[in-house]
Structure 1
């Protein structure tokens, strides 16, 4: 029996000491000869990884916090000594799951395949537990302990656990510790930087679900608009509107390639398209007024009856049929298809009633629900504190990308947060940079500019002091041709200047490039 196999034993790895918690169970498993292909769509913030014949030790910790009954599970995956690169990687979750679901574990395998020790946690949320059982103690009462664990507490617990386990297993501390996440995982990364600045040296927090209490209610706005109209546009109508917006604004960055880089300059009113012929399956239908109203509502975001914006809308080139559209039967009858995260949050966290009928909402009720969500939960899971001074002072670095066509979390939210940090600290670019990715959807999509090197760029920044002036990315156009581009740090943007796409604050298109 070799030394690694011997060390991969529950008897050899002491139980970690977790603040205000008791370890109930510690299990250790040895995995040998594991091979798998991990695509970048799973291993977000990274490129694809071919894991080949790797062995690693999995340490599973189950614990409870003092005076609570919820069991939290955290796992640390430890590669062999000859494969370990001396670094640690925490991996975040997605949706209403904190971590340790199937895709997350595949991402952990990708990390191990690259030589990292990896850690993730379920935050006390059981994998097959529905949202009602997770959020509600009973009708009328939210389980705030569980929400606090999910929002922040267990994220720091996982950092404490991995420090203890790694040092016990390898006999030394990791040289550097990093966190990688997108969406919910991006929010987790920002929460760690804001509340637990000593947990990680570097964080990639992409498409972060900050302003949680706002974006979940805002995510129901388009569906609410359909309900108010009692009209549910077909997919083909909303897709047509999006395609027309892309076509109208494609040239704003100086090149016609199917990707809109200068979204801010894209000024579109869907009502101007009403009556246009829309290909819809084997027939052509006129674009309806209701489809135009729904598109405009999605772009603007939720508003009061006086027209005051409550939250940002999606960009005019976002895919409106991705998450909040309608289902249509062959006879053309359409019905609403709400975003499950938003509808469940309103029912469970705000109304505290799993049977609440969302279609009964009036505009006054919607605004009231929006405000109640912010008032009740911003302090718990808002994750939008712009004070990153403690994280920056200890030398921490943050990189973040956000797709400009993200249909789930408007990229404007990340931009506004970054601007708030900048207002507090004009030196923000010395430790935190945000990159707006043209054409990219939520976290990863086949189209658009996906920065697969962002995590490696973070490592170079932390360990070598090499701040990335831009991120490399590429996309394949409709003709199958691959194009290499850069993504610029906000507020810069890449505009074709007759020779290439340099990052610049200048919005002027110096020279139009012929169609690709």
Structure 2
């Protein structure tokens, strides 16, 4: 089936399903306030006492109070038990490699009765320490410090350093793809709750999943596939259309290549030459000139995202060079054409939109924006993931170790017409497509919301990978499914200027975990979130905070479609703003 026919069919099915739904029921009452319990055994005894089918505990370790300090967090980590293990060990019949779902749990002695699944990012492949990242830039706390029992995992595969394919090598194995797509979370969640039961003598009162980027995708997929497991889910930068976003990335690299100079060493386009930092700063200034004051205050922030998309026109608002290029002063006509096309987003020759465009935002000047667009898109992130994990069948290893072939050749040769449909494809070996495994089965999350689940989403408007406009499109579909009751179960907060998960000229430090707990357990839906800049003197400074800002500037984040509008008072304080449409 062609990509165009599939998209049309999917849209028709979605509209038909939504149109026949009865009105959503009244929102359930909040969950009871969680309360914890002391451990009923020592950390050393846990390995011998815990039994769960397919699980092998490989290590336990008691960490004393005050023994562990983490960068940017003033308080030492509390006393806790670290449990490491593997689940569903096997040898692949496809590549003969050993696979397992690796995990780590950290169980605090003073437990708050809550479970925290820390969903990790990228292509996974690493068991990152289970501290409970609360997201945003330079977080000042974490789930473990707050008293959660925290789980982290590698999503079913280990990063393979022996092959040029590296983090994507698992894509050769169909089960590893399934584990990465949805199965690792589905398998680990009940196991983790059983481990909590064994250690504390009681199950968690409430359960939360928190993740950004691919971790955000994990959250939305878990809400749709295992709605009974979680009471609250927090996702930032949610890559819920991950394979299609990767298609957009390599397509974008093809556009940038048109105005790039060749790398003398490789004779491939050097994408960093397409838009040097001075040119991206020029675009940022042009966006601010047109959009900064739409929220009532010219403060270096485009808070009214949708207003800016209507107000800003690249052809009119970005200076054009009359002759030779003048970096930082104007863009050439070719540069303007490329940038406008990238922000419009990929469309194939039949006119089918593949992925959302990008919102105009001053965060285009962020370092992370350039890195994702000019380096990751043609290297060991998007190109390698698309070649070996997101398309069926996977590409030949010759893509990276053949006769002079490189990932950039694969990216620049990827065709929307010929290749984009492979993310929807399946075959006798890969019986589920990447899109089926890696995206939510029900974007309306009806079963999750029916049982009272709460969902918080946050997204930087200058995210270069997962478009905030794509998340807005998801939100619009969610509202279509739930009508006026949508905000009873889900809220979306846009973070102006923020790049991928953090960084950029933004107030990117916030605590959405506490907001989610208060919503789930106290029924206090977040009306706004206060976010802070990380200027000089901060525990983890953000070098991209403009010098004209207060080092600890605060801003309101508002539930979409509301905007933080300036009312009166200190221009550096969130208290001077109100959320309004």
Q: Is TM (by shorter chain) over 0.5?
A: yes
Q: Is the 1:135–1:143 Cα contact (8 Å) retained in structure 2? A: no
Q: Identify the residue that residue 492 of structure 1 maps to in structure 2.
A: 562
1:150: how far off? 0.8
Would the alpha carbon gap of residues 359 and 230 (structure 1) be closer, same or farther in structure 2, given more than 3 Å must change?
A: farther
Is 1:165 aligned to residue 165 of structure 2? no
**1:161/1:131 Cα in 2 relative to 1: closer, same or farther (>3 Å)?**
farther
- The alignment partner of 1:346 has SS state of helix
Q: Is 1:503 equivalent to 2:579 in the alignment?
A: yes
Instruction: Compute the TM-score of the two structures, normalised by the length of structure 1.
Output: 0.83
Aligned to 2:67: 34
Report the more deviating stretch, 27-36 or 336-345.
336-345
1:463 aligns with 2:490: no
Is residue 174 from structure 1 mapped to residue 204 from structure 2 by the alignment?
Answer: yes
Q: 1:77 aligns with which of 88, 106, 125?
A: 106
Whether the aligned pair in 2 keeps the contact of 1:180 and 1:204 (CA below 8 Å) is yes
| Residue aligned with 1:90, SS | strand
Q: Secondary structure at the match of 1:35?
A: coil
Question: Hey, what's the Cα distance between the residues in 2 that align with 1:71 and 1:360?
Answer: 30
Distance 2:329 2:379 in 1: 26
Equivalent in 396, 400, 408 of residue 457 of structure 2: 400
Q: Is the 2:116–2:132 Cα contact (8 Å) retained in structure 1? A: no
Aligned to 1:508: none
Partner of 2:6: none
How many residues align? The count is 476
What is the aligned partner in structure 2 of residue 264 from structure 1? 306
Tell me: CA distance 1:362–1:484, structure 2 relative to 1, closer, same or farther (3 Å): closer
Determine which structure has the larger strand proportion and give its number.
1
The answer on whether the counterparts of 1:88 and 1:117 sit within 8 Å (CA) in structure 2 is yes
| Counterpart residue number, 1:44 | none
CA deviation digits over 1:415-456, x for unaligned, max 9?
Answer: 111211221122221111111122222212263233612110
Deviation at 1:462, TM superposition (A): 0.9
TM-score of the two chains, using structure 2 as the length reference: 0.74
Query: Retained in 1: the 8 A contact 2:159–2:166?
Result: no
Summarize deviations over 1:232-263 as a string: whole Å, max 9, x none. Answer: 42412233223322232111111100010122
Matched residues in 1 for 2:254 and 2:568: separation? 45
Measure the CA separation in 2 of the matches of 1:388 and 1:237: 42
Match of 2:386 in 1: 346
**2:297 alignment counterpart:** 255
Q: Deviations over 1:325-352 (max 9, x none)?
A: 599xxxxxx9997353221123324351
Instruction: Quote the Cα distance in structure 2 between the aligned partners of 1:300 and 1:463.
Output: 41
Give the aligned partner of residue 501 of structure 2. 443
Instruction: Describe the shift of the 1:16–1:201 C-alpha distance in structure 2 as closer, same or farther (beyond 3 A).
Output: farther
Aligned-CA RMSD value? 3.2
Residue segments in structure 1 that go unaligned for 5+ positions in a row:
40-48, 328-333, 506-516
2:147 counterpart residue number = 115
Q: Structure 2: which 5+ residue stretches go unaligned?
A: 1-37, 93-97, 135-140, 262-272, 400-404, 426-432, 536-545, 570-575
> Does the 8 Å CA contact 1:98/1:150 hold for their aligned counterparts?
no
Cα distance, 1:452–1:216 mapped onto 2, change above 3 Å: same
Rounded to whole Å, the distance in 1 between the matches of 2:234 and 2:566 is 28
Q: Corresponding residue for 1:205?
A: 235
Q: Is the 8 A contact 1:227 1:359 kept in 2?
A: no
Output aligned runs, 1:87-98, within 5 Å: 87-97=114-124
